[in-house]
Every structure is written in C-alpha cells, then in structure tokens.
Amino acid sequence: MRTTQSDLQKMRDAGEKIAILTCYDASFAALLEDAGVDVLLVGDSLGNVFQGEETTLPVTLDDMIYHTRCVARGSRQAFIMTDMPFGTSQVSPEDTFEHAAELMAAGANMVKIEGGSLMAPTVEFLIRRGIPVCAHIGLTPQSVNQLGGYTVQGRTGPQAKLLLDDAVALEKAGAGMLLMEVVPAALAARITRRLSIPTVGIGAGPDCSAQVLVLYDMLGIYSGKKARFMKNFMVDANGLRDGVERYVKAVKAGEFPAPEHAF
C-alpha cells in the first residue's frame, strides 16, 4: 500500500524523521523504496543532473510528466512528490490546476510549488480541488536569476520574518508540507516549531521533520561545486543499496544533517 499524506503527518506528529530523495526513473524508484526511503521527489533538478542544464529553468511540464510516470511504474509504496516546473505555477490558479492535474494523472501524490505567500491563493485553489501541495521557500532555484545566485536566504531579521510569514501563510492556505532550502538552521527550527505540518529541509539544519537530498549528490556524483549541505553516503558503502540505507538511517537517527552541513 502506498504511503499517504496522512501517514507522513502521523510520522511528523510522532517525531519520526522522514527520509526523502530525488528520483527520476523506475529502477532507482524500486531500489530507493526498498532501502527505506519514504518519499520520492521527482525534482526539476533533473534539468541539472539528468539533462546537463545549468539551471532548472529549461525543464518542461512534459519532462516532469515523463519522469513521474517512470518513478510511479517503479515504485509501489513510497509517496511520490513532483515539482511543478518553471512557468507552470507562476500563472493563473486555473492554469496551474490544469498543469498540476496532469502531474497527478501521471502518478504524483503531491505537487511541489516554489514561492512564498504570493503563491498562497494558488495553493488554496489547488487544495480545494483535491491536489495536495508542498510549498517551497528559502532558496527557490526557479528564481535564481532574481535571487542573484544560489545563496543562503533568511540571514537578516527582516528576511527571516518574511520567510516565517510566508510559511504561516502557506500552511493557512492548505499546504500539506513545507520545504525550506538553504536557510539558517535556527530559522528552520523556529518555522518547524511554528507549523503543524511536516517541514522538509535541504541545507536547513537538523530540526526539520524531513530531510531531502538530490540522489546524485547522495551518491557522490556532483554536477557542479559541492555545496555545504551535501554528503556522499557511498563512502565505505557496500553498493548502492547500502549507501541509500546509510542515508535513511542517518536521517531517521537525526545524525544527518550534522552541524557541518548547516548554515
């Protein structure tokens, strides 16, 4: 039986950490869930690691539908979350719904949307029509040109308050999960305490309800400069499955991310 959003909420409420990895194909989908990964994120990071693009911006809706179908075919239990690519959620709520519905039909159990409180009306529109949403704040790669690069978000008081306000607004709009990328660990912990939904961290410290890494980063296959929050779990591992199991175990035990992986 496939993991549900309610199952993830129960894990969060019980204090059990949730292990997430990106996934783009059927073979890895089967391996990852067999190794204990709770959520498979079909990330638009496939633009970087799969297609060789410099950013996620060229990734299309058709790309995401194709890879979601592949992951859905290869898995039986893991929860599947799919990124809405650039240009598919920054439109009207009605058009966003049409795009999200295609991803759900391809096998997604939830869509992930980048952006702060500006996206709250769209999130509410989708939720009211049966599409679960994970909101994504902090470093939002689809806005890399506006942000001026891949930099830590929320360092100053005003920036931190804005992210906290965004998180609260998105939860109020109905978001079922909230991903925080490259934000100070203390801020991520504060937001996690404030919300009642699971929070997902990537470069956001150890206090989030869940942790996620790009699969290839976890495997030590870096498409560019290694970021501080990345860790190669294949070091001393006995094969791919063992490396993934090490990642899952480290997340569940609260051992990853360690202080050296946080901001």
> How far is the C-alpha of 169 from the C-alpha of 246, rounded, in Å?
35
CA 133 to chain CA mean position, Å: 11
**With helix as H, strand as E and coil as C, how does 115-165 read?**
CCHHHHHHHHHHHCCCCCEEEEEECCHHHHHHHCCCCCCCCCHHHHHHHHH
Backbone angles phi, psi at 113, to 5 degrees: -125, 130
To which H or E segment does residue 42 belong?
A: strand 39-42
Using alpha carbons, select from 66, 71, 104, 99 the residue that is nearest to residue 85.
99
Helix (H, G, I), strand (E, B) or coil at 223: coil
CA distances from 230 to 50, 109, 182, 260 (A): 18, 26, 11, 10
Q: Looking at 33, 114, 171, 181, which residue is catalytic? A: 181
CA torsion through residues 255, 258, 259, 263, sign: negative
Q: Is 54 a catalytic residue?
A: no
Q: Taking the C-alpha atoms of 179, 5, 218 and 66 in order, what is their torsion angle to the nearest 10 degrees?
A: -100
List the catalytic residues: 181
